[in-house]
Amino acid sequence: MPYLEDIMKKIEHEEIVSSRNCVMIHAMDILGGKWRLPILWKLYQNKTMRYNELKRSLVGITNIMLTRSLQSLEENGLVNRVELNQIPPKVEYSLTENCIELVPALETIYNWGRDRMIGQSE
Amino acid sequence: MPYLEDIMKKIEHEEIVSSRNCVMIHAMDILGGKWRLPILWKLYQNKTMRYNELKRSLVGITNIMLTRSLQSLEENGLVNRVELNQIPPKVEYSLTENCIELVPALETIYNWGRDRMIGQSE
DNA sequence: CGGAATCCGCTGAGATACTG
DNA sequence: CAGTATCTCAGCGGATTCCG
């Protein structure tokens, strides 16, 4: 059971977190990098995808980068990895609940980037 | 005046842009990096800020990183830089219209990062 | 099929010092 | 006040090869 003291400490901690820029830095540590948002975006559009399916859809990505990015996203609780024990091997990736909260941001960023890429070609 | 051929080409180009992951990669090229979102976030909260004001509010940033980040954001049309010719020098930074479109994404990412930082401390 | 291991270049990030 | 000029360095991103 939390005592008043603990509650006060937690509130204090929350204020420090909110007032500093570390929140955005923390977010970018997880979401930054060349391939992370593209992967999340593909998984959002297709619900669940297999490794090579992802690889084909992300034009230009290499095995290493796909593996690393997926591992990082999994460690941070953004992506589910389900390994089906069968031959041939089959692994399915999907977004976690935790990540669904981010989808509006993905959509906004995508639309923004799209408008600006199309605009540039004029 | 655009001919049918030009219109078709533009539509084709738009489809290619939309279908590929390059949109997200392009967005991350501009928004990625440790300090860019934190800077945009501060400018969004305070409307317009001076150089040293930004620097003080972004705990831990160095002159080099602030200068570089601001330059990059300005080149990409996300930030206005207004230099007032007076002594002492005064330079004001603010978000551009182009960037306002991104604000919902910033808010979503901030809230997500905040929840997750506070949650981790339990 | 779904990766891991190794190696490597480039550049983002920073420390330090200086300037109009 | 609002930056620049150098220099350094870790690590991100990538090419290539190999594996259960």
Among A16, A23, A31, A41, pick the best mutation site for testing chain B contact (most B Cβ within 10 A): A23
Residue A121: predicted pLDDT: 57
Tell me, yes or no, whether A14 lies in a domain: no
User: pLDDT tens across A31-54, in order?
Assistant: 999 999 999 999 999 999 999 999
pLDDT for B121 beyond 70: no
Contacts of A58 in chain B (CB under 8 A): 21
pLDDT in tens, B6-17: 656 667 666 666
Is residue B66 in some structural domain? yes
List the beta strands (DSSP E) in chain A: 48-50, 79-84, 90-95
pTM for the model: 0.89
Question: Which strands make up the sheet holding A90-95, listed edge to edge?
Answer: A48-50, A90-95, A79-84
> Measured in whole angstroms, how far is the alpha carbon of residue A20 from the centre of its chain?
22
Q: Where are the beta strands (DSSP E) in A7-89?
A: 48-50, 79-84
What is the count of structural domains for chain A? 1
What the block records as the tokens of B112 is: 């997500």
CATH code at position A104:
1.10.10.10
Q: How confident is the model at residue B122 (pLDDT cuts 50, 70, 90)?
A: low
Query: Which DSSP state fits B34?
Result: T
Contact B69, B35 (CB under 8 A): yes
Q: Closest nucleotide (CA of A62 to C1')?
A: D14
Residue-number span of the structural domain to which A76 is assigned: 33-121
Tokens coding B56: 């003080």
